[in-house]
Structure 1
Amino acid sequence: MTVYLDLIILDNFAADFALLYLAVKTARGEVKLWRLALTALAGTALAVGYTVFTLYYTLPPAVEIFVKYGVAALLPVFASKYKKKSTLAIAVGAFLAYMFALAGLLTALFSDPQIEEGGGALTYTIGGVPSGVLVACTVLFVAAAKKTVAKIAKRKKILSLVVDCSLFYRENRVRTRAFLDSGNMVTAPDGTFVAVAEKALAVKLLGEHLFTGSTNGIRIPVATVSGKSFMTAFKIDKIEIYCDGTRNIIEDVTLGISPDGVHGEYDLILPFDFVREQK
């Protein structure tokens, strides 16, 4: 059996470094490339030493499991500084999860199922895979996983600012979800902040009053990416905002219809100032 140590070293170092970086970023630990590199190098040395050792000696299954997975679980401990034990636990769990995911990905892409003669057992081999393929797959996996983690974190942050609310106009009531936007600085001529709604939501709330001329709509100038535009707005009776078990009531609200639509898991954008206790 021929063992190419240079390929083993390159493969293990690239995979360990990339996955350690991703695990630390996932746990929001302190990222220092030199520390990640030293930890990955230590993991590579252990992996190469273990590979060479198993060429000449056979270890009990329990020892093999400890060496393979126990040592792998220790790598994130030295890869960064963690302020909390929970952060360390997240980093360890993330590293093991990413490691198994990458191994499964490579097995699925490069496995070679063969039936052993006489035994009928199904075996899998990944022999002949170039070192560059593993490195490239590692980098691509890390890039995709990092982007996914960032999207999840962004979505979690957005959802933390999404609240349930009800809009009232005369006899009509519509319940929807709203996004509290600190950047929403659109104001009405009387100086009050404007709640910006999706067109379909406004039509549903105003109902038949929208076509009878009894809504007294106004035009409000707004700044857009393409320049200055105008937003049609109406006065509604009130908005009830349900946040943290409380009900905030904002009366005599100016409701504007977004000229570009409201995109997201909500149909209404509220000024952050609307979240306050009302007597």
Structure 2
Amino acid sequence: MVVYLDTLLLVNFIVNYFLLDITSQTVKIPSKNRNLVLSSFLGSLYVIALLYPKAVIFTTLPFKIAVSIVMILICFKQRDVIVNLKITGIFILYSMLLAGVCFYLNISRGNEPEFSSVIYSFPYEWLLISLMIVYLIIHRLVVFIKDRRDISTLIFIVDIVTKDNKKRVKAFLDTGNELREPATNLPVIIVEKEAMLDVNLEKYDKFYIPYQVVNGYSDKMQGFKPDHVEVYYGNKVQYAEVIVAFCDNKLSNYNDYDALLSRGII
């Protein structure tokens, strides 16, 4: 029998990724994609031990459980021992379930049961792998679409009205943003500087708004006070006095919005 090692590793990588992904969904603990990939890759290397008779000791149950625990630690990076054991148990149960399905499909074709560690000839494997790949793609698409839909409900059209013109931006309602300018106590709208390049700040009084982020970093943003802003709620318009502050960075990776709306404006 000829075994193609690259194909065997690829198949095991996909299966490991699939099992880790559904385990993550079951325990409601998200994992970064790079951790999923690394854990799946290292788990796929374990199949090499099954191909060498001299490495039979590494195919015993304690080593299999140890490999599963290592994969879970790499994937989820949880410090709680009990949590890791629970996640490992669910991962092993899903592995046993998938193995049982493969075994059933194999004997349902009239083949004699093969009590070996690896089934090398199994025509249903590509069907199962295809289903796994489709599931992973659909799941990612559903999550992406859901995120975009949720974000769209928090995006408002805002017109920044000045003496010279009216500038329209798309603003995301940041419910955790309570930033206010200390002197006027007005709420602050953070806008990408590129979106306001045509505004001549020399005509306006400048404000320097101090801020602090979660990691403790603090600084000041330069801003100005427009005549007013118009926030659109469907067919309704709300007028408000605000301070517009500028930031140098992109606020949205997908260009969904170019401003952050303070909770004090809504």
Aligned to 1:167: 160
Superposition CA RMSD, Å: 4.4
Query: 1:13 touches 1:43 (CA, 8 Å); kept in 2?
Result: no
Partner of 2:184: 190
Q: Distance in 2 between matches of 1:251 and 1:50?
A: 71
| Aligned residue type for 1:253 | V
Q: TM-score, with normalisation over the residues of structure 2?
A: 0.52
Q: Which residue of 2 aligns with 1:221?
A: 210
Distance (whole Å) between structure 2 residues aligned to residue 51 and residue 14 of structure 1: 26
2: distance between equivalents of 1:33 and 1:226? 38
Counterpart in the other structure of 2:78? none
Aligned length: 186
Give the deviation of 1:270 after TM superposition.
0.8
- Show the counterpart of 1:272: 263
* CA shift for structure 1 position 46: 1.8
Provide the C-alpha distance between the structure 1 equivalents of 2:156 and 2:168, rounded to a whole number of angstroms.
Answer: 11
Matched AA of 1:232: Q
CA distance in 2, matches of 1:196, 1:252: 14
Q: Check conservation: 1:237, 1:251, Cα contact below 8 A.
A: no
SS at match of 2:176: coil
Cα distance change, pair 17–48 in 1 and its aligned pair in 2 (3 A): farther
CA distance in 2, matches of 1:230, 1:15: 48
| Alpha-carbon displacement from aligned partner over 1:31-50 (angstroms, at most 9, x marks no partner) | 73244223212212123324
Deviation at 1:19, TM superposition (A): 2.7
The aligned residue for residue 119 of structure 1 is none
Q: Specify whether residues 228 and 30 from structure 1 end up closer, same or farther in structure 2 by C-alpha distance, changes over 3 A only.
A: closer
- Where do 1:27-38 residues align within 5 Å? 32-38=90-96
- List structure 1 segments (4+ residues) > 3 angstroms apart after TM superposition: 9-18, 20-25, 28-32, 95-101, 144-160, 224-228
CA distance in 2, matches of 1:250, 1:146: 41
User: Cα distance, 1:16 vs. partner?
Assistant: 5.1
SS in 2 for 1:273: coil
Partner of 1:263: 251
Residues 197 and 262, structure 1, Cα contact 8 Å, conserved in 2:
no
- State the SS of the aligned residue for 1:272: coil
Question: Map of 1:191-210 to 2, 5 A cutoff?
Answer: 191-204=185-198, 206-207=199-200, 210=201
- 1:177 matched residue in structure 2: 170
Cα deviation, residue 262, structure 1:
3.5
